[in-house]
Chains A and B, each alone.
Chain A
Amino acid sequence: MAGAALYDSEQSAHGDAASGYDPNYVPDSVKSFVVHMYRHIREKNVYEIHQMYETSFQSISDRFFKDTPWPSVEAVAPYVDNDHVFCLLYREMWYRHLYARHSPTLKQRIDSWDNYCNLFQVVLHGVVNMQLPNQWLWDMVDEFVYQFQSFCQYRAKMKSKTEQEIALLRQPDQAWNVYGVLNYLQALVEKSMIIQILEQEKEGLEQFTATDGYDYNGGSNVLKVLGYFSMIGLLRVHCLLGDYHTGLKCILPIDISQQGVYTSVIGSHITTVYHYGFANLMLRRYAEAIREFNKILLYIFKTKQYHQKSPQYEQILKKNEQMYALLAVSLSLCPQVKLVDETVNSQLREKYGEKMLRMQRYDDDAFALYDELFSYACPKFITPSAPSYEEPLVNYNQDAYRLQLKLFLYEVKQQQLLSGIRTFLNVYSTISIVKLASYMEVDEHTLRTILMTYKHKMHSVDADGKIVSNSDINFYIDDDMVHVMESKAAKRHGDYFLRQIVKLEGIITDIDRVKLE
Chain B
Amino acid sequence: MGREITNTTSNQKPQSEMSYTVEQLVAVNPYNPDILPDLENYVNEQVSSQTYSLNANLCLLRLYQFEPERMSTQIVARILIKALMAMPAPDFSLCLFLIPERVQMEEQFKTLIVLSHYLETARFRQFWDEAAKSRHILEVVPGFEQAVQAYAIHVLSITYQKVPRSVLAEAINIEGLALDKFIEHHVTNSGWAIEKNQSKGQLILLPRNEFNSPELKKSSADGIPLEHITRILPILG
**Interface, chain A (partner B; CB < 8 A):** 178-179, 182-183, 186, 202, 241-246, 249, 255, 258, 282-284, 384-385, 399, 402-404, 406-407, 410-411, 414, 445, 448-449, 451-453, 455-457, 459-461, 465-467, 469, 474-480, 485, 487, 490-495, 498, 501-502, 505
Is A403's CB under 8 angstroms from B97's CB?
Answer: yes
Residues of A within 8 A of B89 (CB): 461, 465
Could you jot down 8 A-B contacts, CB within 8 Å? A179-B66, A241-B98, A385-B65, A414-B117, A453-B121, A469-B211, A476-B159, A476-B160
Nearest A residue to B152 via CB reads A452
Nearest CB in chain A: distance from B89 CB, A = 4
- From A202, A384, A461, A498, B65 is in contact (CB under 8 Å) with A384
| Stretch touching chain A among B15-23, B43-51, B175-183, B218-226 | B218-226
8 further A-B contacts with Cβ under 8 Å, apart from A452-B122, A477-B163, are A243-B58, A282-B97, A410-B117, A445-B125, A452-B159, A478-B162, A487-B214, A501-B232
**Cα–Cα, bound, A501→B215 (Å):** 32
**Cα–Cα, bound, A178→B67 (Å):** 10
**Cα–Cα, bound, A460→B65 (Å):** 26
Is A478's CB under 8 angstroms from B90's CB?
Answer: no
Report, nearest first, the 5 A-B pairs whose CB atoms are least far apart.
Answer: A490-B221, A452-B122, A474-B214, A242-B97, A494-B224
**Cα–Cα, bound, A202→B224 (Å):** 17
**Interface, chain B (partner A; CB < 8 A):** 2, 4-5, 9, 30-33, 54-55, 58-59, 62, 65-68, 88-90, 93-94, 96-98, 100-101, 117, 120-125, 155-156, 158-164, 167, 197, 203, 210-215, 217, 219-224, 227-229, 231-232, 235
**Cα–Cα, bound, A403→B113 (Å):** 14
Is B94's CB under 8 angstroms from A245's CB?
Answer: yes
Is A404's CB under 8 angstroms from B90's CB?
Answer: no
Specify the main secondary structure of chain A where it touches its partner: helix
Is A384's CB under 8 angstroms from B232's CB?
Answer: no
Is A449's CB under 8 angstroms from B90's CB?
Answer: no
Nearest CB in chain B: distance from A92 CB, A = 23
Nearest B residue to A381 via CB reads B97
Is A491's CB under 8 angstroms from B231's CB?
Answer: no
Is A477's CB under 8 angstroms from B161's CB?
Answer: yes
Nearest CB in chain B: distance from A65 CB, A = 36
Residues of B within 8 A of A384 (CB): 65-66
Nearest B residue to A400 via CB reads B100
Is A407's CB under 8 angstroms from B97's CB?
Answer: yes
Nearest CB in chain A: distance from B31 CB, A = 4
Which of A245, A459, A480 lies at the interface centre, i.e. has the most chain B CB atoms within 10 A of its CB?
Answer: A245
Is A494's CB under 8 angstroms from B222's CB?
Answer: yes
Is B5's CB under 8 angstroms from A451's CB?
Answer: no
Residues of B within 8 A of A283 (CB): 90, 94
**Cα–Cα, bound, A445→B235 (Å):** 60
Is A476's CB under 8 angstroms from B212's CB?
Answer: yes
Nearest CB in chain A: distance from B78 CB, A = 18
Nearest CB in chain B: distance from A36 CB, A = 40
Residues of B within 8 A of A467 (CB): 2, 4-5, 88, 158, 211
Nearest CB in chain B: distance from A476 CB, A = 4
Nearest A residue to B225 via CB reads A257
**Cα–Cα, bound, A282→B135 (Å):** 30
Is A179's CB under 8 angstroms from B88's CB?
Answer: no
Residues of A within 8 A of B217 (CB): 469, 474
Residues of B within 8 A of A466 (CB): 2, 5
Nearest A residue to B122 via CB reads A452
Nearest CB in chain A: distance from B99 CB, A = 8
- From A242, A459, A479, B203 is in contact (CB under 8 Å) with A479
- From B90, B159, B215, A460 is in contact (CB under 8 Å) with B90
- From A186, A455, A485, A487, B158 is in contact (CB under 8 Å) with A455
Is B65's CB under 8 angstroms from A399's CB?
Answer: no
Nearest CB in chain B: distance from A143 CB, A = 20
**Cα–Cα, bound, A494→B156 (Å):** 35
Q: A183-B31, A385-B68, A459-B211 are in contact. Are A284 and B155 (CB under 8 A)?
A: no
Residues of A within 8 A of B55 (CB): 246, 249
Residues of A within 8 A of B32 (CB): 179
- From A448, A476, A485, A495, B167 is in contact (CB under 8 Å) with A448
Residues of B within 8 A of A202 (CB): 227
- From A182, A186, A453, A490, B219 is in contact (CB under 8 Å) with A490
Residues of A within 8 A of B219 (CB): 490
Is B235's CB under 8 angstroms from A452's CB?
Answer: no
Residues of A within 8 A of B88 (CB): 456, 459, 461, 467
**Cα–Cα, bound, A494→B54 (Å):** 37
Is B159's CB under 8 angstroms from A451's CB?
Answer: yes
Which of A407, A451, A475 lies at the interface centre, i.e. has the most chain B CB atoms within 10 A of its CB?
Answer: A407
Q: A453-B121, A480-B164 are in contact. Are A502 and B231 (CB under 8 A)?
A: yes
Residues of B within 8 A of A501 (CB): 232, 235
Q: A241-B98, A476-B214, A501-B232 are in contact. Are A452 and B58 (CB under 8 A)?
A: no
Residues of B within 8 A of A178 (CB): 66
Residues of A within 8 A of B220 (CB): 490
Residues of B within 8 A of A485 (CB): 214-215
Is A502's CB under 8 angstroms from B214's CB?
Answer: no
Is B211's CB under 8 angstroms from A455's CB?
Answer: yes
Residues of B within 8 A of A490 (CB): 219-222
